[in-house]
Amino acid sequence: MVTAQTGGGGIRLLIADDQALVRGALGALLDLEDDLEVCALAADGAEALRLVAETKPDVCLMDIQMPGMDGVEATRRIREVSPGTRVLIVTTFARPGYLRAALDAGASGFIVKDTPAEQLAEAVRRVHAGLRVLDPALAEESLFEGANPLSDRERQVLRLATDGRSAAAIAAEVFLSAGTVRNHLSAAIGKTGASNRAQAAQIALDKGWI
């Protein structure tokens, strides 16, 4: 559900987060700034995409993990439909893989939710000005982690394997043979240095690769 808010004008913001309390709190904090105006709130990536197309905000504050369309995919599509809208990722999931994926999707910044309010407001202003804003510790960690080694298919089947479903069940969902799914899982296990698919999935989750 979307709640539109009014403010004193200036930089127009859209906040996308699946937790109502979080998006409400972020909206209330940022709307206190004289030069920031929260124009809409979205509960997921799909809703954010629709609202961006309607309202054309200057900056979209985007969570990463949301039901349906996640923040990375939403960022990619928002940048396509509204190139003038900058995206600032604001998340609790400080993982190098998410940082890289978000930047590759076109995000202009990536910070964590426990960032002090005044720093968050300043990050919004910097992103709006065309600058890049990154959590420094996460950016440094990302340099040492390297790029995501998993292919799109490997990420897909590994993500589906996180709940313990069988290769046959995964195969039915992604329209591949069970043997092909097992091959993708085996490749993912090797690339993550894991001993089994459960461990591979956990490693990939921890690094933000899936």
| CA of residue 133 relative to chain centroid, distance | 15
* For the ranges 20-24, 56-60, 103-107, 181-185, the one whose mean pLDDT is highest: 56-60
C-alpha 101/C-alpha 139 separation (Å) is 12
| CATH 3.40.50.1980 holds for 11-143 | no
C-alpha 51/C-alpha 62 separation (Å) is 13
Over the stretch 155-176, which tens digit does the pLDDT of each residue have?
Answer: 889 888 888 888 899 999 899 9
This prediction has a pTM of: 0.67
Under a CB-based contact definition with an 8 Å cutoff, are residues 71 and 89 in contact? yes
Q: Where in the chain is the domain with CATH 3.40.50.2300?
A: 11-143
* For the ranges 4-13, 20-29, 87-96, the one whose mean pLDDT is highest: 20-29
Cα-Cα-Cα-Cα dihedral sign, residues 53, 57, 59, 65: negative
Tell me the sheet residues that pair with 87. 60
Over the stretch 40-83, which tens digit does the pLDDT of each residue have?
Answer: 999 999 999 999 999 999 999 999 989 889 999 999 999 999 99
At the top level of CATH, the class of 152-207 is: mainly alpha
Q: Where in the chain is the domain with CATH 1.10.10.10?
A: 152-207
C-alpha 144/C-alpha 148 separation (Å) is 12
* Mutual angle of helices 178-192 and 167-174, in 10-degree steps: 110
